[in-house]
Structure 1
Amino acid sequence: MAWRKRATTGALAALMFGLVTTGALAQKQYGPGVTDTEIKIGTTTPYSGPASAYAAGAISTTAYFAMINDQGGVNGRRINYISLDDAYSPPKTVEQIRRLIESDEVLFLVNPVGTATNMAVVKYINQKQVPHLFIGTGATVFNDPEHYPWTMGWTPHYASEGEIYAKYILATKPDARIAILSQNDDLGRDYLIGFRRGLGDKASTMIVSAQTYNTTDPTVDSQVVSLKTAGADMFVIFSVPKFAAQAIRKAYDIDWHPQEFVSSVGSSISGAIKPAGFEAAKGIISAAYQKDPADPQWRDDPAMKAWNVWMDKYNPHVDKSDYYAPYGYNIGYAVVQILKQCGDNLTRENIMKQASNLDMELPLLLPGIKLRTTPADLRPIKQMRLVRFNGERYVLFSDVLASQ
C-alpha cells in the first residue's frame, strides 16, 4: 500500500507540475519586441517637412508613455516607443517602417501620420501581419478589414466630416456660393467626396469654384485669389495646418471675408490659427471629437486637471493650445488600456484582437463619444461636434453628430 501511495503522490505531483508549467506557458506568449521588462512599439511622424505641426502628436504620446514608465510600466514592462521622422514623404515612410519592423522588431505600430504616407506602406504592413493601429488619417480606404485586417484609423473619416459641413451649410444657408481649397491627395479627395455627398443634387450649383494644392507647393496664395474672384460667400479648406494657415491669412489680407470652414486635421490653434492670426481666423467653423483645453467648461473636469499636471511635468515643450497635445495623450491612454487587456499574451494576434473589439471611454474625448470597434468596422471614432473659433478659442455649438 505504501508504494501505491507514493506512486499516486508522485503522479499527482507530476500532474501538478505539468499544469503549472502549461499554465505559465499559456500566460506568457510573446511576439517580436517583447520581453519580461519591455514592449517595443513604433511610429513614423513628420518631425520635419510641410506637415511638421503633426509631430506634436507623437511627442505627446511619447510623453504619455514616459509617465507610464515612471509608474512602473504596463504589467511591469516599460514601453520603448521608437518614433522616426519621415518628413511626410512616402518614400521615407517606406524606409522607416521597414526599419521599425525588420530591424527594430517592434510588436506593433501606433499612429503613423499621413494619408499618402500610410498608403505607401499599408500593403507591406498587412503582409507582415503587424498591427497598424490608430493611424493618423481619416481616409476611408483604411477601414477595409477584408483587405487590410491589421490596419485601423483614429481620426473620424474625412468623408463623414465633409458631409457634416455640407449638411450644416444646407440647413443654414441653402443658397450659399461655396469655394473649396483641398489637398491634392486622398485626404483632400475624401473630404470632397463626403462634402459633395452631403450637398446632394445641389453640389453642382452651390460649389462655384474648387482649387487644389500639392504639399510641395510653397504657398496657396494664387489659389485663394482665384477662389475669391468666383464670388463665393463660403470658403471650405480641406488641408493640413500649414496650408490652412496660409489660406486663412491670404483671404484676410485680400479683404475676402466669407464664412470659413477648416477641416479638423488642419484646425490646430498653434499649428494653423496662431500663424494665420487670431483676428483673421475669427468665426471659422471646424469639427471636434476631443476636449479643448482652452474651453473654460472643462476647467474643473478631473480628467483635464490631470492632463494639465501631466503637461507641466512630462510635455512642457508642446503648447497646451495645440490640438495634438490632447490627441497624443488620448492615443497613449488607449494603447496602454489595450496592453493591459492583453496581460501576458503579448502577441501581434492578441494585440489586434483586443484593438478590434473596443468599447472604451477616454479621458479627453467629448462626452458621448467613445472608442468602439468590431472586426467588421475598425473605425474607433465615429462621432464629432461642430465648433466655432471666437477669436481666442473654439466654442462647441452643436450636438454629437454621428458619422456614417
Structure 2
Amino acid sequence: MKRHLGSRKAVGIAAASALALTVTACGGGNDAGRGGDAAEGAPSPGITDTSVTLGITTPLSGATAGPGTCTVAGVTAYMGMKNAEGGIEFGDGKTRTVEIEALDDTYDPQQAKANYDQLKDDVFAMTAGLGTPTNRAWLDAAIADEVPQVLIMTGDPIFSETEQSPWQLGFVPIYQNEGEAFGELLATSTEEHKVAILAQNDDYGEGYVEGFKSAIEGSDNIEIVDELTYEATDTSVDAQLTELANSEADIFFNAMSVTPLMISALQKAQQLGWTPSWFLPSNTSSPTAILEPGGAAAYPGIYSVSFSKAPQSPAFAEDEDVQTYLSALKDYGNYPDPPAFPHCQWSWMVGATLEQAFQNMEEPTRDSFMEALRSIEGYEAPLMLPDTSVSTGEDGQPAVSTVVVQKFNGRGYDTVETFE
C-alpha cells in the first residue's frame, strides 16, 4: 500500500570498543585552506581539491547500537565503493574521494553535542546519524556555525523546515507520515476495531500518534480505548503492557524506538494472553533482530512501513541493487552479514543522495552543497521500493516522504492495500 504524503507538514560494525571510526579515502590531502566561505567561492572546512570529509555522531554502543552502527555502515560502504572506482566527480569539475569520521554518542544527547564540537571544524558536513534527541542536541549549534546537518536518521519535522533549520534536512519520513499511513490503512477496514496506544514520551512518539489520529478521525468503526506513554530511558514497559492488555483492544499502535523494549513488549503481550495486530515504526520492525526473537508469529498481523528493499526478503534475493549493496557492505562497510536493521539500507541511500548533491554543487562550499542538495527531485536511489523516491525541495518534508505499508509474512514483508 503506497502512501505518498508529500503534502503533509507535519533511522553490526564491531565498534563497541572504539569511539571513532575513520574511513580513509583512496586518495586525498589537505591542500586547501580552511577559511570557510569568508571569501566568495573559497573552500569550506573539510573539502580540498582531492577529498571531502563527512562527520557522523551516532550510537555505536548501547541499546541502540544495532541501528546506529548501520547508519555508518551503509554510507561507509557506498563511499568506499565510489572511492575504489576513483572517487566522485563534483560539479566544479574536480574528482574527490570521500572520508568519513564517525563518533559514538551511545544515544546520549550530551555526548552527541560533544562529538559535534569535536568534528565541526574538520568536516564539510554532518550526516546519517541516528536519533531525535541526539540530533536536536546540536541543532542550534549547527545553525549558528553554518554546518550542514543533513540526511540524518530522525523523523522530527523540525529538521526539514527550511526557515527554522536552514542548514538541516532529514532523510527518513517524518513521524507524522508513518503514523498517518497506519491510520489510513486501518481506515480501509469495515470492521469494528478497538485501538490501544503506547508511545515514547517525546516528539518521536507524539508525531506518530498525531499522524495516526489524523488519519482515523471521522471513522465511526475505530475507537481508541487506552493510551499510555513510556520514557526512552525505561528498561521495562511491563506495567504499561499489563494495563493495555486489559483494554482488550484488537489493534496495538506501538510507537517505540528502543529495540530491546520492542522485543520485550512483543513477549510480554503474549505472556498476558493479549494478541492484537501490531503497528510498528519502520526503525523497530526488523524481522530478524526484533520480530523473530519477540515471537511475532503469535500475532494475527504485524504491520510496518518501508521505502527500501529488504535483503532478507525472497522477493529481492536476486535483485541487482541488493547484490551490489551486500557486496559493498562486506568489502567496504566492515559488515559481513546481511543487515538486520533497515538503517543500513537507508544510509546506503544517503550515500547515493550525497553523490547527487556533490555532482551538482558548482563550488566547494557548504552554501553550494545545500543548494544542490535541496534541488533533488524524483531521484530513485538504489534500493528504493517502487513508487518511492528522494525529493528534497518541499519545505517541511524530508528527503523521503513516500512510504509503503507492509505486513510481516514470517520472514519478510508483503505490501498490503487494505487492512486484513
Establish whether TM, by shorter chain, passes 0.5.
yes
Which of the residues 134, 143, 148 maps onto 1:131? 148
After the TM superposition, which residues 153-232 of structure 1 pair with which residues of structure 2 at under 5 Å, given as runs? 153-173=170-190, 175-201=192-218, 206-232=223-249
Query: Structure 1 residues 378, 54: CA separation in 2 closer, same or farther (over 3 Å shift)?
Result: same
Distance across 2 between alignment mates of 1:282 and 1:91: 41
**Aligned-pair CA distance for 1:185:** 1.0
**Aligned-pair CA distance for 1:378:** 4.9
Question: Identity, % of aligned pairs?
Answer: 29
Matched, 1:276 2:294: yes
Please name the residue that 1:353 is paired with: 371
Distance across 1 between alignment mates of 2:115 and 2:211: 32
Partner secondary structure for residue 57 of structure 2: strand
Please name the residue that 2:277 is paired with: 259
**Aligned-pair CA distance for 1:204:** 12
Partner secondary structure for residue 94 of structure 1: helix
Query: Structure 1 residues 200, 306: CA separation in 2 closer, same or farther (over 3 Å shift)?
Result: same
Superposed CA deviations along residues 147-188 of structure 1, whole A, max 9, x for unmatched, are 111111111111121111112212215521111111111100
CA contact (8 A) 2:162 2:396 kept: yes
CA contact (8 A) 1:242 1:271 kept: no
Superposed CA deviations along residues 268-290 of structure 1, whole A, max 9, x for unmatched, are 23432233135346730001111
Query: Structure 1 residues 200, 378: CA separation in 2 closer, same or farther (over 3 Å shift)?
Result: closer
Query: Structure 1 residues 212, 154: CA separation in 2 closer, same or farther (over 3 Å shift)?
Result: same
Which of the residues 264, 287, 292 maps onto 2:310? 292
Matched, 1:51 2:70: no
CA contact (8 A) 1:110 1:132 kept: yes
Please name the residue that 2:80 is paired with: 66
Question: What is the aligned length?
Answer: 371
Please name the residue that 1:84 is paired with: 103
Distance across 2 between alignment mates of 1:229 and 1:376: 42
Query: Structure 1 residues 160, 351: CA separation in 2 closer, same or farther (over 3 Å shift)?
Result: same
Matched, 1:41 2:54: yes
CA contact (8 A) 1:267 1:286 kept: yes
Distance across 2 between alignment mates of 1:68 and 1:300: 22
**Aligned-pair CA distance for 1:260:** 0.9
**Aligned-pair CA distance for 1:74:** 2.0
Matched, 1:379 2:379: no
Partner secondary structure for residue 100 of structure 2: strand
**Aligned-pair CA distance for 1:255:** 1.9
Please name the residue that 2:124 is paired with: 107
Distance across 2 between alignment mates of 1:108 and 1:319: 28
Q: Which amino acid aligns with 2:279?
A: F
**Aligned-pair CA distance for 1:394:** 1.2
Partner secondary structure for residue 171 of structure 1: coil
CA contact (8 A) 2:197 2:254 kept: yes
Query: Structure 1 residues 322, 280: CA separation in 2 closer, same or farther (over 3 Å shift)?
Result: farther
Distance across 2 between alignment mates of 1:87 and 1:254: 32
Q: Which amino acid aligns with 1:135?
A: I
Distance across 1 between alignment mates of 2:60 and 2:287: 18
CA contact (8 A) 2:253 2:280 kept: yes
Which has the higher mean CA deviation after the structures are superposed, 352-361 or 290-299?
290-299
Please name the residue that 2:139 is paired with: 122
Distance across 2 between alignment mates of 1:325 and 1:379: 18
Query: Structure 1 residues 158, 318: CA separation in 2 closer, same or farther (over 3 Å shift)?
Result: farther
Query: Structure 1 residues 312, 83: CA separation in 2 closer, same or farther (over 3 Å shift)?
Result: closer
Distance across 1 between alignment mates of 2:197 and 2:210: 12
Superposed CA deviations along residues 271-320 of structure 1, whole A, max 9, x for unmatched, are 32233135346730001111122223323432223223323433434533
Distance across 2 between alignment mates of 1:62 and 1:173: 46
Partner secondary structure for residue 187 of structure 2: helix
Superposed CA deviations along residues 196-250 of structure 1, whole A, max 9, x for unmatched, are 1112145997111112111211111221111101111111111113322221121
CA contact (8 A) 2:312 2:338 kept: no
Distance across 2 between alignment mates of 1:156 and 1:244: 20
Q: Which amino acid aligns with 2:365?
A: T
Instruction: Could you tell me which runs of 5 or more consecutive residues in structure 2 were left unpaired when the two chains were aligned.
Output: 1-38, 90-94
Please name the residue that 2:264 is paired with: 246
TM-score scaled to structure 2, two decimals?
A: 0.82
Distance across 2 between alignment mates of 1:168 and 1:181: 19
Partner secondary structure for residue 217 of structure 2: helix
Instruction: Could you tell me which runs of 5 or more consecutive residues in structure 1 were left unpaired when the two chains were aligned.
Output: 1-25, 400-404
Query: Structure 1 residues 87, 280: CA separation in 2 closer, same or farther (over 3 Å shift)?
Result: farther
Distance across 1 between alignment mates of 2:337 and 2:290: 15
CA contact (8 A) 2:175 2:211 kept: yes
The structure whose residues are more often helix, as a share, is: 1
Q: Which amino acid aligns with 2:44?
A: G
Distance across 1 between alignment mates of 2:313 and 2:207: 30
Distance across 2 between alignment mates of 1:89 and 1:318: 27
Distance across 2 between alignment mates of 1:328 and 1:245: 24
Superposed CA deviations along residues 61-120 of structure 1, whole A, max 9, x for unmatched, are 222222222222223322111111111111111111111113xx2111112211111222
Please name the residue that 1:97 is paired with: 116
Query: Structure 1 residues 63, 203: CA separation in 2 closer, same or farther (over 3 Å shift)?
Result: farther
Please name the residue that 1:327 is paired with: 346
Q: Which amino acid aligns with 2:74?
A: S
CA contact (8 A) 1:108 1:131 kept: yes
